Each structure stands twice: as structure tokens, then as C-alpha cells.
Amino acid sequence: MALLEVEDVSKHFPGVQALTDVSLTVEAGEVHALVGQNGAGKSTLVKCISGVYSPDSGQIVFDGEGIRTYAPKNAQDLGITVVYQRMQLLPWLSVAENILLGHMPTTASVIIDRREANRIARELLARFKLHIDPEIPVARLSPPERQEVAIAKALYRRAKLLILDEPTAALDASLIERLFDLIGELNADGVAVLYISHHLEEVFRLADRITVLRDGRVVTTQPAAELSQTEVVTLMAGRRIEVAVDVDKAKPEEELKQAAPLLEFQHVTAGALQDIDFSIHECEVVGITGVIGAGGNDIARVLFGLSKAEAGQVLFEGKPYASNGPGHAIDHGLFMVPEDPSSEGLVPVLSLANNITLVDLPAITRFGVLSLRREKKLAQKYVEQLSIATSSVDTQVRNLSGGNQSKVLLAKALQAQARVLVLQEPTQGVDVAAKADIHRIIRDLAAQGKAVLVISTDIRALLLFVDRIVALRVGRIVADMPAADTGYAEVLDLTVGSVGAEAS
């Protein structure tokens, strides 16, 4: 008997048929991958399974019993737990308090027994080789550690079905290996895993079976061994997608070497960075990669005035540059697309048009009066230029997919007349088609004379479209080389010091 049975489930929202007659099963101890493009219905299906939504028709059976009450607490009581891409932990509470929240041990006098809570959490973390102090606030943890705490929280609730939504989005190569080991241990204990990811190499490494969703319908469910990555991409998109991007340099390499750099780091020490030197020219795309904490994000922080260089200097157009903050950086022609556009770079409740024009209000005003017609016309230009998938420029950006939110930020950068773009994990959590689209847009921006700095832990993605790779390890540059002259295994070895057997 299957642990989870989804039987002909449909779900409709105003103007959108999110799911149509979806059926799938998940066996105990199985890793079942759920894949599809952004908007295919994966999130809606997960929310139905976890009790956030109730299906309009069809039913969900768990552990042999039909679910009658659709509510998150009921799903958790049954043994269904979701670990979302953006972890839902309470940062001001300790690790132990987050893990045991709602189930804290008490003394005879009904007072919370924090010593016992810390002991329980410590034993649970140790069981899965998670070296985290249960007494520290979650706010002090790194994104990977928060991911581990979220999983530990699920295990404490004796989850029978663990749903992992893009679980490696915040992890580097070494931490991904640790997560995979943990999933293997869970499967051995009979825990089922519904694994949602756009990283198909992970899916094929872990999954027993794969279900492909497209436009709210199940296209196929097959054993992973009977499918290839190319077949899955084609099934997801309904057409063949060219994943790789041919890097056509806007300027020949020799011409770039002879030209003066647009931006230079000279012996900069800041945060994790130690005495780093590199440069970037107009018409060039440079990828910065390394494990989390190696210093990539510190480069962005220095450029946008979020931290100061302790030694060395940054040159912009040959002159010393020190930012006083994001506004100062934008005024000087630098623009950043952060890792999480929805919380850091955009105003979710405002429209697509509002978000694009916020950076340049004079462009849509005349004699101090805002022109909505001009604003919509300007936004529509970028919708067409960047292939932003939206029904209207009046759509709130919170209703756009992650990939389209990133495109809105790129539109803001263009409207701000940025000369240097700094992109943090620009394709994190987006589907294969959107990823290829963003790669193309980045190459187009470079062809227009922009210098593009891409900071990412996704080595394979970087190698598809950047001109150069700068590899960081423990805050130092260990390589600065043309992307065409290297491969995944070599870059991984440079950044973590070891190459997995499958890396090639």
C-alpha cells in the first residue's frame, strides 16, 4: 500500500486552473521527485498535500486513510511535513525552541524545562551528525544551518512523509553531499521524501521515481532509471529546450585584455575576503564562485556600501571608489540583483510597472505629475525586451514566479542606466527554460556594454555563459581563468579541495 495517494485532485483560483485531475503515489522509504517549470502547479499540489489548500475535487489518502480535514496542523499530526525553500523558522527563538515549538517539555509546575529541551534537541541533531548548538538563536545561523534545523524540526515531529522544496538552493557542494547522506538515512528508516528541485542532476542521483507536471497536469510518472535529463526537460516544457548557452563574446579576449578595466579590486580585505585582486571590463561576464562563506557575498557588500574594505581599494573607471550605501552605488552606475528578489530587491505589493520605475521616477513624471500612461509604456517595453511572463504590467510582483521577479530587477537595472551589474544567484530556484532565458539576457546585457559580475555557488550554470571564472577558497582567489578553459570538476576541486566521484 502506498503511503501517499493523490487521486484526481483539481484546484482552481480566480482566473487560473492550477491543478487538473492530478494523481500520484509515494511509497514509504521512497524518494519521489516532483519536477516542472515555474507555474506548473508543484507548489499548489504541495499545499494541498500539506493541508494549506483543500482540493476542489478528488481526494488525498495518507497511510490508508482519506484526509477529511485540510489544515496544516492536521497534516503535521498525520506525519506530513514540508521544508520550504525559504525556511519558516522564528529567528528570535533558539534552535531548540524552533525544533520543539508547540511540544516543549515542562516541569511538574508547568514551567518550560529548557534544560530538557536543549538535551532533546542536542540528541536529535547529533543523531544526524548536525553540529549545531541548540541554545543559540536561529538568527545567528547560516542559511545551510537553518535548512538543517528545519529538517530536524520535521524529524522531531516523526514525519512519515518529508516534502523538500528546493532544499539545496542555499547550499554549496559540500553541504549538498551532507543533505544527500541525511536523505539516505531517512529512507533507510522508512521515511518517504517528496523531492522538488529544478536541479535535474540531483533528481537523477536521488530519485526512485519522477513525476513531471506541466500546466497543472501530470505528464508522466516513471522510474528515474527509464528517463534521461533531456527527456525530462522536454516533458516539462512541452518542447525541446536548449539548456546550454553558446558564449558569444561582445569583444574578443585580446581586445578585453588591452582595454582599461571598468572595475578593479586591488588587494582588498573585507569580511571573509583576504587580499583579493581581480578586475572586470565592459562587455564582460565574470563568475565568482566558492562555497558559502568563501567571500563572494562580501564582494557585493563592499561594492554597495554594506561593509567597508579594511585594506586595499576598489577602482571604478580608474578612480578610487568607496560606496556609502546602495543609493550611492546606483547613482554611480552599479546595480545589484540580490539572491532573494521578493524580500530584498522588490516591493511585493506594488505592480511590475511600479517596481521598474521606482528607480527612475523623473522618467515618468512631467512638471511633477506622475504619468501612468508613460509608466505602463515604459514597463511594457521591458516586458517585451526581457520576455517577462505576465498578463499585465499592473500585476503585483509577488504573483510572479522567481525567474520573472529576477527579470523585473534586471529591468530596474536597465532603467537605472547601470554600467556594472552584480547578480547574486540569478537562477536559483528557477526552471530550466527560465534559466536559459536569464543566461541569454545576461549575455545580451554584456553585448550592450555592461560589465556583469555573477556571484553563484552553481558552478555548472556559470560555466554555461560566463567569460571568466574567479574561484574563491577561504576568502582568497585560487584561480582566475577563462571559463572555456576549465570544467566543473576542476573548479569544484579549487573551491572545496575535493571532487566527488560523479563530478565530470
Domains of the chain by residue range: 4-237, 244-333+422-430+450-492
Quick one: pLDDT band at residue 499, thresholds 50, 70, 90?
A: very low
Which of 21-25, 395-399, 493-497 reaches the highest mean pLDDT? 21-25
Query: Residue 256's pLDDT is what?
Result: 60
Higher-scoring residue by pLDDT: 449, 173: 449
Would you call 54 helix, strand, or coil by DSSP?
Answer: coil
Quick one: pLDDT band at residue 248, thresholds 50, 70, 90?
A: low
Mean pLDDT of 331-335: 88
Buried-exposed string 70-103: b where 16+ CB fall within 10 A, e elsewhere:
beeeebbebbbbbbbbebebeeeebbbbbbbeee
**pLDDT at residue 347 is higher than 80:** yes
Query: Residue 315's pLDDT is what?
Result: 93
Question: Which range, of 104-113, 322-331, 436-445, 489-498, averages the lowest pLDDT?
Answer: 489-498
Quick one: pLDDT band at residue 498, thresholds 50, 70, 90?
A: very low
Mean pLDDT of 74-91: 81
Record: fold of 244-333+422-430+450-492: Rossmann fold (3.40.50)
Quick one: pLDDT band at residue 343, thresholds 50, 70, 90?
A: low
Would you call 307 helix, strand, or coil by DSSP?
Answer: coil
Question: Could you tell me what percent of the chain has a pLDDT over 70?
Answer: 89
Query: Residue 86's pLDDT is what?
Result: 59
Higher-scoring residue by pLDDT: 159, 25: 25
Alpha carbons 151 and 309: distance in angstroms, whole number: 37
**pLDDT at residue 243 is higher than 60:** no
**pLDDT at residue 155 is higher than 50:** yes
Q: How far is CA 498 from the centre of its chain?
A: 24
Question: Could you tell me what percent of the chain has a pLDDT over 90?
Answer: 32
**pLDDT at residue 103 is higher than 90:** no
Closest alpha carbon to 303 in 257, 346, 271, 349: 271
- pLDDT tens-place string over residues 41-76: 888 999 999 999 999 999 999 999 999 889 988 998
Quick one: pLDDT band at residue 23, thresholds 50, 70, 90?
A: very high
**Residue 435 CB contacts under 8 Å (≥ 6 apart), including other chains:** 198, 243, 403, 427, 461
Quick one: pLDDT band at residue 85, thresholds 50, 70, 90?
A: low
Mean pLDDT of 331-354: 82
The cell numbers describing 421, all together, are 551589474
Mean pLDDT of 411-429: 83
- Within 10 angstroms of residue 478's Cβ, the number of other Cβ atoms is 16
**pLDDT at residue 244 is higher than 50:** no
Query: Residue 360's pLDDT is what?
Result: 80
Record: fold of 4-237: Rossmann fold (3.40.50)
Mean pLDDT of 250-271: 77
Do 244-333+422-430+450-492 and 4-237 have the same topology in CATH?
Answer: yes
Query: Residue 172's pLDDT is what?
Result: 63
Query: Residue 19's pLDDT is what?
Result: 93
Query: Residue 503's pLDDT is what?
Result: 36
Query: Residue 448's pLDDT is what?
Result: 87
Query: Residue 424's pLDDT is what?
Result: 87
Query: Residue 169's pLDDT is what?
Result: 67
Query: Residue 30's pLDDT is what?
Result: 94
User: Which is it for strands 4-13 and 57-62: parallel, antiparallel or unpaired?
Assistant: antiparallel
The cell numbers describing 385, all together, are 525586451
Q: 33 - beta bridge partners?
A: 195, 210
**pLDDT at residue 497 is higher than 80:** no
Query: Residue 50's pLDDT is what?
Result: 92
Alpha carbons 405 and 402: distance in angstroms, whole number: 5
Is 61 exposed, middle or buried, given 0-12, 13-18 or 19+ CB atoms closer than 10 A? middle
Closest alpha carbon to 262 in 283, 281, 287, 285: 281
- pLDDT tens-place string over residues 278-307: 999 999 999 999 877 788 889 999 998 888
Query: Residue 66's pLDDT is what?
Result: 92
Quick one: pLDDT band at residue 501, thresholds 50, 70, 90?
A: very low
